[in-house]
Amino acid sequence: MRKATMQVTTHRPMELVDITAQVEGHLKESGVISGICHLYNPHTTAALTINEGADPAVQSDIIMALRQIMPFDLPFEHAEGNSPAHLLASLFGASEMIFIEKGRLQLGTWQKIYFCEFDGPRSRKVALRIMEER
């Protein structure tokens, strides 16, 4: 099993950061041919998702749509003022699991792994575990 903590730096309040290459680098170093890759985000105002990576407009469209559907101006009680980020993180989720076959992540043709920042800019971490099938 390979364990790692990946660093992710975000630059905007809401942003989708492609972390696929980082994950693939850890997979290559692990030497695992068949197994599972678990990713976990320990932050309450960020998330992980898998979505299209071929057209960068998809990421900006997702952010645009989230800004339209999330009411940022409700009278939230949370003192920090980032309740919408907490809600979005809950909707997306804190983890992803990807199968590994023949030493490759089993992502679809257009899929990439994204760290979803909802309360940036910040320096974040993602925990990674690559487990070999036995």
State the CATH architecture for 2-70+82-132.
Sandwich (2.60)
pLDDT of residue 134: 86
Where would I find the beta strands (DSSP E) of 10-90?
Answer: 15-18, 35-40, 46-52
Q: Give the chain's residues under pLDDT 50.
A: none
pLDDT in tens, 84-103: 999 999 999 999 999 999 99
Residue whose C-alpha is closest to residue 113's, from 21, 47, 19, 15:
19
- For residue 109, the model assigns a pLDDT of 96
**Looking at residue 79, what is its pLDDT?**
84
In the block, residue with structure tokens 């898998």: 50
27/105 Cα distance (integer angstroms): 8
Percent of the chain with pLDDT over 90: 90
Region at 92 (left for phi over 0; alpha for psi -120 to 50; beta for the rest): alpha
